[in-house]
Amino acid sequence: MPVFSARDIVPFPPGNNATDTTINSHHLNLTTLDHWNYTLFSNGTLSNGSWCLLTFNNYAPTYLFPNGTFLNATWCWSPTEPIGVRGGVAIGYAVLFGIALVLTLVNLNKHGKLHLPAEKRFFPIGRRWQWYWASWVCATALISLLTSVDVDRYFLPELPIILTSFFWFLMQIGAMAVVWEAVRHWGSWMERQFIDPDPFALRDDDRRSKVEFYLPLLFYLFLWLLISFVMQNFFMIVPRNWTAIQHQRYPQQIIDEAAPTATDARFKAAAFLLVVCWLITAFSLRHSIKYYCPRNRGVLNRIRGFFRYMPFRFMLIVPLAAVIPAYQALVAWNFDYSPLKVTGLKAAIYAGGYTPSLLILYVQIIIGFFNPNEDLELKRQRRVRGQELDREMGIVHKPSWWSRINGENMDPNASMRDRLLRNVREINGTKAAPQATVDSPVDGPSPPVEMTPVSPTLASPNATIAPAFYTGRSERRRQERAMEVATGILFPEAAHDRVAANRRREELMMDGPPPPSYTDTVQSNSRLNAQPPNVARSLSGQSEGSTNQPPQQIRSMLDV
């Protein structure tokens, strides 16, 4: 609802009579305008406190009905003005943030992909959070910048200035979270490299582990709760009445309503909490360098080592992150440099409000393209350590071309028939040439394995085996015979060995049946002792068995 001072009110132009007024060559009923409390202002607007209409150029209403309805009217909160400097620069920044969003998703796909099994100590989402927050920054920045176009085009400030300011604060929160997650994850990555060769190199109950456990909880507790650092900034700014921000329709209204609202205690407290958030990020960086990088003695050496072992991207994004709370503190005390002001200083708004967040994103993106995936880097480090251990132990691995020259490689395009032929030749003691196939064997005229005929007899004239196919009723014997046939087809040498074993068994049986085993002898003696005495004596007197059977030959002490 527009609010104007009394000095901005102008009288209605005269018309054809006392009940008529002419506004932009259109005759309106003056009695109806007075009835509905409409007032004409010097900026060319017609308002009654609830409705506001434009009365200049082609936007003036052409007719007024007795019920107070205008024909062909245009509201004061319409994009009637051309795009100004603020909107033009916003479009350029929106393009850059849009490109950053696409590149951020590419980096998220690259660094978020798993190439090793997930570990309980290092969750995959830990390395993705910085890219999630970067996507948040790009999305909120795009909304804020695109609505800045309507800040210039609206004749009277209204919803666009509120949306621009609202999402700008959310973008600042996300940019600070990007820096925090980048620093925190770098420390986690250093710890992972540190304990990968030796999982017991670091304790789990020392001061280092406790700080690393509670610091993220502390940060995100302060981030999302009412007493947080970053989300305290959110709760300080977002859930409030933003209506006073749009009251910038004339200079006195800006002084009385918009400026005091944009520089109140809540905006000042939000800027202070962002400073504390940046200090926690810097402490996390110092903590990681202290425990995972070589230590230095002395104050000067520690300062020098801090900057020496700090990654190059942190030398850029940590100072850029310090600009975010500094600029918020500036606009919390000086409304002229604030993006909440419609006619604020454009250079300060984009240099201090949007450029640091944009540079943070592009530094992260560029370094993300150069850095490899952490799982792949960890696999490379393990491979290098394995080579060093082999070198220390004197183990020399054959080069990759060794197997190809010696025919030990397996052609990936080889058929199952070629692979079976290769296995059979290796059993025979020969190796197939690298290009050998079933149609061109390397062992001479021997037929292919799968083409070996199924015959009831083998090559040896003196050796016989059972028929190739079993025709009885025993299912178990049928399966055994089928297995023997398949073995004879795939491994001919094994079949010859079985025939040789049968031949040796027949030669041993030519000397007579083997003596009874110890178990059979003991069982027969126990049955004999179990008979009554008279029966035992009567059996001992019989000589029929001893005369009809050949004399017993004592072969060992067990037969006595």
Which of 28-42, 372-386, 500-514 holds the top average pLDDT? 372-386
Backbone dihedral region for residue 49 (phi beyond 0: left; psi -120 to 50: alpha; all else: beta)? left
Given a cut of 50, whether residue 539 has pLDDT beyond it is: no
In a domain, 184, yes or no: yes
In a domain, 516, yes or no: no
Q: Are residues 371 and 434 in the same domain?
A: no
Q: Residues 325-344: pLDDT tens digits? A: 999 999 989 988 988 888 88
In a domain, 330, yes or no: yes
**Boundary (domain end) residue, out of 451, 470, 494:** 451
Q: Residues 393-440: pLDDT tens digits? A: 888 877 777 766 665 566 667 777 777 777 777 666 555 444 444 444
pLDDT confidence of residue 376: 92
Q: Are residues 357 and 457 in the same domain?
A: no
pLDDT confidence of residue 437: 42
The residues pairing with 64 across neighbouring beta strands, listed in sequence order, are 70
Given a cut of 90, whether residue 143 has pLDDT beyond it is: yes
Q: Are residues 464 and 427 in the same domain?
A: no
The neighbour count for residue 433, using CB atoms within 10 Å, is 12
Q: Residues 33-87: pLDDT tens digits? A: 888 888 888 878 888 877 888 888 888 888 888 888 888 888 888 888 888 899 9
- Residue range 186-199: mean pLDDT, rounded: 85
Q: Are residues 39 and 187 in the same domain?
A: no
Backbone dihedral region for residue 52 (phi beyond 0: left; psi -120 to 50: alpha; all else: beta)? beta
- Residue range 487-510: mean pLDDT, rounded: 67
Q: Are residues 288 and 372 in the same domain?
A: yes
Q: Are residues 310 and 276 in the same domain?
A: yes
Number of structural domains in the chain: 4
In a domain, 548, yes or no: no
- Residue range 5-13: mean pLDDT, rounded: 69
Distance CA 23, CA 55 (A): 7
Domain with 161 in it: what CATH number? 1.20.1070
**Boundary (domain end) residue, out of 335, 360, 383:** 383
Q: Residues 361-383: pLDDT tens digits? A: 999 999 999 999 998 999 999 99
Given a cut of 50, whether residue 231 has pLDDT beyond it is: no
Does an H or E element contain 506, and which? helix 492-509
Q: Are residues 152 and 191 in the same domain?
A: yes
pLDDT confidence of residue 450: 40
Look up tokens 């993006």; give the residue: 339
Q: Are residues 337 and 480 in the same domain?
A: no
Least confident of 3-7, 387-391, 488-492: 3-7
Residue range of the domain that includes 467: 453-511
**Boundary (domain end) residue, out of 428, 451, 474:** 451
CB 255 within 8 A of CB 261: no
Greater pLDDT, 496 or 251: 251
In a domain, 17, yes or no: yes
The neighbour count for residue 154, using CB atoms within 10 Å, is 21
Q: Are residues 182 and 279 in the same domain?
A: yes
In a domain, 267, yes or no: yes
pLDDT confidence of residue 200: 80
pLDDT confidence of residue 318: 94
In a domain, 236, yes or no: yes
pTM: 0.67
Q: Which long-range contacts (CB under 8 A, 24 or more apart) does 26-34 make?
A: 26/60, 26/61, 26/62, 26/63, 28/61, 28/63, 28/64, 29/64, 29/66, 32/64, 32/65, 32/66, 32/68, 33/64
Q: Are residues 334 and 254 in the same domain?
A: yes
Q: Are residues 334 and 246 in the same domain?
A: yes
Distance CA 235, CA 409 (A): 66
Distance CA 411, CA 435 (A): 9
pLDDT confidence of residue 542: 45
Q: Are residues 344 and 203 in the same domain?
A: yes
In a domain, 547, yes or no: no
